[in-house]
Amino acid sequence: MTEKQSITLTINGRAHKIAVEPRRTLADAIREDCGQTGTHIGCEHGVCGACTIIVDGAPVRSCLMFAVQAGGKPIRTVEGLADGDKLHPMQQAFMDHHGLQCGFCTPGFLMLAVGVLEREPDISDADLIDVLSSNLCRCTGYQNIVKAVRAAAEEMRK
Amino acid sequence: MAVPETKQKIIGRSLPRREDPPLLRGQGRFAADINFPGQWIMRVVRAPIAHGEIRSIDASAALALRGVHAVWTYKDVAHIPRIPFRLTGLKTLEPYQQPVLADGVVRYVGEPVALVFAEDAYIAEDAAELVEIDIAPRDVVMNASDAPGAFDDGHTTEADVIRKGYGDVETAFRNAHAVVSLELVVGRHTGVPMETRGAIATYDAARDLLEMHGAAKVPHWNRDTMARMLGRTPQTMHLHEGHVGGGFGIRGEIYPEDVAVCAAALAFERPIKWIEDRREHLIAANHSRQQQHRIRAAVDKNGTILAIDDEFFHDNGAYMRTHAATVPDLAAAMLPGPYRVPAYRAVGHIRLTNKTPCGTYRAPGRYESTFVRERLMDAIAAQCGLDKVEVRRRNLLPQSAMPHDVHLDTLGTHIVYDSGDYALLLDKALRLAKWDALQAEMKARRATGETVGAGVAMFVEKSGLGPFDTVRIEIKTDGVEVVTGNASVGQGIETVVAQICAEVLGARYETINVVHGQTDRIARGMGAFASRVTVMCGEATRMAAVKLRDIVLKAAAELMQTSAERLDIADGQIVSGDGGASMPLTSLAGLTAEDTFESSHMVYPYGVHIASVRVDAETGGVTVETYAIAYDVGRAVNPRLVEGQLAGGLAQGIGGALYEEFLYDEAGEPLSVTFADYLMPTAHEVPAPLLLVTEDAPSPLNAFGLKGAGEGGVNPVGAAIASAIDDALQQPGAVTQLPVTPQRLKALMKR
């Protein structure tokens, strides 16, 4: 155990001043130190993508980052997607297309899809499936997730 | 003929799920999200070798770490009995039950040996690594089909033998025109939900109330059993289910860790939280599926089955856990499938090995026995020079045979197929997959040098296991509350139950809240497993809703000065037939009704899967190009949810067919401990399936004709893909082992 460092994590526009060991993962800091438990931990070794968030505009696996690396960078998690009562088009699309069952992998997929589509709104379908194959889901068999993301992509392009 | 969805009232419509909004917003309350002030974190110290005698455990370095509160070993939990059986608990298996912590002997890598209690998870993990365990190694048993070894003094590693059968098998084989024999293996794999296991126990000394959060699947049975194990009455213990990140049979059984957090909360009078990591999950949560079968069929000259004789070895890992003999029992009982089998014998050896203990995993015993049976059907076709669809057609039980007594028992019930028109579904499946055109396409592509082929598999599933479910419905000021004794693993039970309640009671779907997984809200419950909830809870909900509707109308009639016969409830309003005043249902808040559905028979949905694959001749890789599923569910409450279950099951089935396998080295060291070793399908590996859900054979055993859907997507996937690979290789019977990894496939291609 080493000395804790003071950092500020800015999550969905809100600053969280926390003190963490250098080895504390960003996922753990977001969940435990900042109380935002919408981001889930599925494997802690960067394969499943349940912990995917958006850092500085790019989808990243928060289990593979240390909290101290994210100080000062804008972080977006699933809790920041909806606009009050109004769901983000991606969230609405997942609901419309039955893109979730247990919901554990869902925040990771939402942030992955939103992050990619914001950077590449005209991404090809083949590339989109490539991106979606980054994250694991054990419940849905993926097809409804793909349908939902395609529908949201159209909506987001408007 | 299914009624088109647009004409359905509420049942039969693909309404959006009641569960979704909080999950989409990141407001889920999964076990890891739950915290209590002053909680300690529990971290399990696990056996580093597969078999041996514990000589000493030195926790001094761990205890010296700042923030570590305690370290427990067996002596701290010796007062707690071993974990009992929940299903199919044969007495002969009791010597093989698992203790909460290793009792002098470790039997698999990953077995809990000690428990660290610390201030936070990082300290707990640091401390766990400092606990030194000295173990004198013993020889390991790694193969379930070798001669049995020693388990302890007085017990061998053959825990028992399941025997099922009927008819004169010997005579049938003597008189057979031909005998087909196969030796088949299904690899060890399991459900691997995306959420790992976890539990949080709290003890309120003032009220003498022990509570555990993170429960799932069978909270009432778990509460009753753990209370007993800890020397408490059921009333002084409650289990709470929050959001659950997938179950698949794996999560929710009583594991050593669940008992440990509860015992620790009692002992320390502190909240105790335990969340496992993925490596722990892969070596300590139930494994499944590993069986080796030697199966033979006696057939006449037309390829008609005269008898099936199957001997198999079931690898149950190091202990018998809560499922006891369930998986091999189901394998033996469901093997005959949709076919007429005049004589049958199954002998299942339950074997212990020094691997992770096993339990049920979605379509338990059936993924295995469907693989074996459908391989047999393909082999019969090859032997008799028949088309593989034709051989199945010839052997199918006709619709006129229903209800069909299979002359076999399982799960405490006698197996009687309640309804089914297998031949009709086969026709529909062939049309769905455009079978003739598919065959022609495969042939044409093979002629150009591609290694492509198509396969088929049929199955009967079981669902709706009783013996009961109770539902209580209460009118609230803001809607309706339906309290069930069931559980959610993410499948959508709140939606299905709300739809049934909405249609039968007349309440508004959006205002119906369904309670599940809380032992303090309803006295007894049977939970969620064996695809039982839609059937058992669904019918109980209908019954309670009918009762409540009568009560509501009587009360409303008095208030509205009319007779109950003139009133109806629709869309949350009590309306008068003669167009008079109406009143909202919620104005009668407080009215309640309860009812129980009892059933001693299961209900039997069935399906046909058709797969086409392409084999990369150079790498041995397999691409599943197309996949069609036809499934008769009796009656679909929410068609899109049924399809979701089929699609999800398909993905897991592909995993077991091609990718997923728990491997061990010869010393019992697990080799599949991360997602880099244990490969699960991604969006790339699962094609968009063609799905056809039919309602041609509703069950006569409940009012709506409901059957379950949870396991119809996974059941025959290994079989269907094996059949397709054989066709691609143009080698009947090539695939005898799952998963068909590239290495195994290349070996087959070399032949």
Report d(CA A27, CA B636) in Å as an integer: 40
A61 in contact with B, Cβ within 8 Å: no
Q: How confident is the model at residue B5 (pLDDT cuts 50, 70, 90)?
A: low
- Measured in angstroms, the CA of B158 and the nearest CA of chain A are apart by 33
Does the distance separating the beta carbons of A133 and B683 come in below 8 Å?
A: yes
Q: SS3 of A9, please? A: strand
pLDDT in tens, B210-255: 999 999 999 999 999 999 999 999 999 999 999 999 999 999 999 9
Which residue in B33, B123, B194 has the most chain A C-beta atoms within 10 A of its own C-beta, making it the best mutation to test that interface?
Answer: B194
Q: Is the CB of A38 less than 8 angstroms away from the CB of B688? A: no
User: How far, in Å, CA of B264 to CA of B262, rounded?
Assistant: 5
In chain B, residues with a C-beta closer than 8 Å to the C-beta of A43 are 278, 674-675
CA-nearest residue to A109 within chain B is B24
Considering only CB atoms, A45 lies closest to which of B25, B195, B278, namely: B278
How far does A108 lie from chain B, in Å, by closest CA?
10
Tokens of B711: 């396991």
Q: Across the interface, do B684 and A130 touch by the CB < 8 Å criterion?
A: yes
Contact check, Cβ <8 Å, B676/A45:
yes
Buried b / exposed e over B476-503, threshold 16 CB at 10 Å, is beebbbbbbbbbbbbbbbbbbbbbbbbb
- Residue A4 Cα, gap to closest chain B Cα (Å): 13
Residues of B in contact with A106 (CB under 8 A): 23-24
Residue B184 CA to residue B222 CA, distance in Å, equals 36
Count of alpha carbons within 13 Å of A105, Cβ hemisphere only? 27
Please check the confidence at residue A1 and state whether its pLDDT lies above 70: no
Tokens of A59: 């989808």
- The span from the CA of B291 to the CA of B186, in Å, is 5
User: Residue B1 has what pLDDT?
Assistant: 38
Q: Which of residues 694-723 of B touch A (CB under 8 A)?
A: 713
The CA distances from residue A69 to A8, A14, A43, A62, in Å, are 11, 17, 20, 10
Residue B52's pLDDT is 98
Residue of B nearest to A80 (CA): B25
- The C-alpha atoms of residue B552 and residue B568 are separated, in whole angstroms, by 10
Does any CB of chain B come closer than 8 Å to the CB of residue A36? yes
Closest approach of chain B CAs to the CA of A136, in angstroms?
Answer: 6
In the beta sheet, which residues pair with residue B288?
B189
To probe the interface with B, which of A51, A92, A101 has the most B CB atoms within 10 Å?
A101
At B273, give phi and psi (nearest 5°).
Answer: -120, 135
> Which residues from A are below 8 Å from B683, CB to CB?
129, 132-133, 142, 145-146
> Measured between CB atoms, which of A21, A41, A110 is closest to B32?
A41
Shortest CB distance from A142 goes to which of B17, B676, B683?
B683
First-to-last CA distance in chain B?
48
Look at A136 and B492 and tell me if their CB atoms are within 8 Å: no
pLDDT (0 to 100) of residue B581: 85
Query: What average pLDDT does the structure give for chain B?
Result: 96
* Min distance B35 CA to chain A CA atoms (Å): 9
Distance CA B164, CA B145 (A): 19
**Helices then strands (H, E): number in chain B?**
18, 31
User: Quick one: average pLDDT of B550-562?
Assistant: 95
Q: What is the pLDDT of residue B4?
A: 54
CB contact under 8 A, B648 and A141: yes
- Predicted confidence band of residue B7 (pLDDT cuts 50, 70, 90): low
Q: What is the DSSP string of B597-664?
A: EE-SS-B--EEEEEEEEEE-TTT--EEEEEEEEEEE-SS-SSHHHHHHHHHHHHHHHHIIIII----B
Compare CB distances from A129 to B123, B649, B683 and report the shortest one's residue.
B683
Contact B674 A45 (CB under 8 A): yes
Q: Chain A contact for B245, CB < 8 A?
A: yes
Please report the pLDDT score of residue B8 as a whole number.
Answer: 67
Are A105 and B54 in contact, with CB atoms under 8 Å apart? no
With CA atoms as reference, the chain A residue closest to B27 would be A38
Q: What is the pLDDT of residue B2?
A: 45
ipTM of the prediction greater than 0.90, yes or no: yes
A56 and A74 Cβ atoms separated by less than 8 Å: yes
Q: For residue B499, is pLDDT > 80?
A: yes
Strand partners, B470: B596
CA angle B217, B223, B226 (to 5 degrees): 115
| pLDDT beyond 60 at A138 | yes
Four-point Cα dihedral B98, B104, B107, B110, nearest 10:
80
β-strand partners of A52: A61
Q: What is the mean pLDDT of residues B65-86?
A: 98
Helix (H, G, I), strand (E, B), or coil: what is residue B233?
coil
Residue B298: CB partners within 8 Å, gap ≥ 6? B169, B172, B173, B175, B176, B178, B179, B305, B306, B307, B308, B309
Taking the Cβ of residue B33 and every Cβ of chain A, the question of whether any pair is shorter than 8 Å is answered with yes
Tell which B residues from 113 to 132 touch A, by Cβ distance under 8 Å.
Answer: 121-123, 126
To test the contact with chain A by mutation, choose from B23, B129, B248, B672 the residue with the greatest count of A C-beta atoms within 10 A, namely B23
Q: Among residues 504-543 of chain B, which lie with CB inside 8 Å of chain A?
A: none
Q: How far apart are CA B67 and CA A1, in angstroms?
A: 11
pLDDT tens-digit series, residues B401-441:
999 999 999 999 999 999 999 999 999 999 999 999 999 99
Nearest CA in chain A to B493: A101
Would you call A138 and B647 a contact, using CB atoms and an 8 Å cutoff? no
Closest CA relative to residue B735, chosen from B494, B437, B378, B291: B378
Q: Is A70 exposed, middle or buried (0-12, 13-18, 19+ CB in 10 A)?
A: buried
pLDDT at residue B603 above 70? yes
The nearest CA of chain A is from the CA of B326 a distance in Å of 24
Burial of B313 (0-12, 13-18, 19+ CB in 10 A): buried
User: Above 80 in pLDDT, residue A67?
Assistant: yes
Residue B6 clears pLDDT 60, i.e. is over it: no
* CB of B672 less than 8 A from some CB of A: no
Q: State CA B382 to chain mean position distance.
A: 33
Task: Say which amino acid occupies B33.
Answer: D
Closest by CA position to B344, among listed B412, B409, B419, B398: B409
The beta-strand segments (E) located in chain A are: 5-11, 14-20, 52-55, 58-61, 74-76
Taking residues B557-572, what's their average pLDDT?
94
Contact at CB, A101 and B648, closer than 8 angstroms: yes
Q: Is B696 exposed, middle or buried (0-12, 13-18, 19+ CB in 10 A)?
A: middle
With bands split at pLDDT 50, 70 and 90, how would you rate the model's confidence at B751? confident
Find where tokens 């499944």 sit. B288
Check CB contact of B638 with chain A, cutoff 8 Å.
Answer: no
CA distance B233 to chain A (A): 32
Three-state secondary structure call for residue A144: helix
Q: Which candidate in B5, B24, B279, B677 is best for mutational testing of the A interface (most A CBs within 10 A)?
A: B24
A106/B24 CB distance under 8 A? yes
Chain B contact present for A104, CB below 8 A: yes
pLDDT in tens, B712-734: 999 999 999 999 999 999 999 99
Distance to chain A for B280, nearest Cα, Å: 10
Chain B residues near residue A137 by CB distance under 8 angstroms: 194, 651
What average pLDDT score do residues B291-302 get? 98
Q: Closest Cα of chain B to A72: distance in Å?
A: 23
Contact A94, A106 (CB under 8 A): yes
Q: Would you tell me how many other CB atoms lie within 10 Å of the CB of residue B185?
A: 18
Share the mean pLDDT of chain A. Answer: 97
Asked if B584 is an interface residue toward chain A (Cβ–Cβ < 8 A), one would say: no
Q: Which residues of B697-729 are buried (b: 16+ CB within 10 A; e: fewer)?
A: bbbebbebbbbbbbbbbbbbbbbbbbbbbbbbb
Give the end-to-end CA distance of chain A in Å, rounded to a whole number: 50
- Judge whether B264 and B39 are in contact, CB under 8 Å: no
